[in-house]
Chains A and B, each alone.
Chain A
């Protein structure tokens, strides 16, 4: 069965600093990978996804993630964060043939002025 590990439960950074949120997965079959964002007291929104093709995927608000099959990772990065990026970020994976989307435990990103 697939599983997802988010290596940091909390990440505090200063505004305009770069950030990396780490995600590793385990699966013996092909996978589809996602990052979701949850702003305070809201539901989850899809931030970006990897289904196939280019291993580097980008979101409209400056985040990017790279699928690394050899390291089974899908880390999320942003070169310069804003206060408005403060949220909880969840990595998730579908394994081929499974109907279930499995989530990591989340990383709380806090951007300080």
Chain B
């Protein structure tokens, strides 16, 4: 199993550009989520999904959109990037209470 995969690993955007961070898991987990990690802030939940077709907001959802058309994929969209979105983004999937994390995407918005 590949576990949770994320692409790209690194990305630089200009303010106002849009992009999609990809996340996929091959463990057939129903629950998936996106976090951002900033120095001294820990991990903050952006959006999560409890199954295909069902998504909900986390702690810091503004500026991000998600959809969940399949069990395997959970992309995160930035519609108009802002410097405040410079961060490391982690996708995760969950089996019961154990959460598995992807390797992360480091995003810089200039």
Contact = CB atoms under 8 A, between A and B. Distances in A.
Interface in A79-113: 90, 94, 99-106
A53 interface: no
A43 B102 contact: yes
* Size band of the interface chain A makes with B: 20 to 34
Interface residues of B, number: 23
12 contacts: A9-B40, A34-B97, A42-B104, A43-B101, A44-B101, A45-B101, A46-B100, A94-B97, A100-B58, A103-B35, A103-B42, A105-B40
**Sorted from nearest, which 8 A-B pairs have the closest CB atoms?**
A105-B42, A43-B101, A103-B43, A44-B101, A103-B42, A43-B103, A106-B42, A32-B97
A78 interface: no
Contacts of A106: 40, 42
Nearest to B44: A103
Interface secondary structure of B, over-half rule? strand
A90 B58 contact: no
B59 to A, nearest CB: 8
Interface of B: 31, 33, 35, 40-45, 48, 50, 56, 58, 90, 94, 97-104
Given A94-B97, A106-B40, 10 more contacts: A34-B97, A44-B43, A44-B90, A46-B99, A90-B43, A99-B31, A101-B33, A103-B44, A104-B42, A105-B40
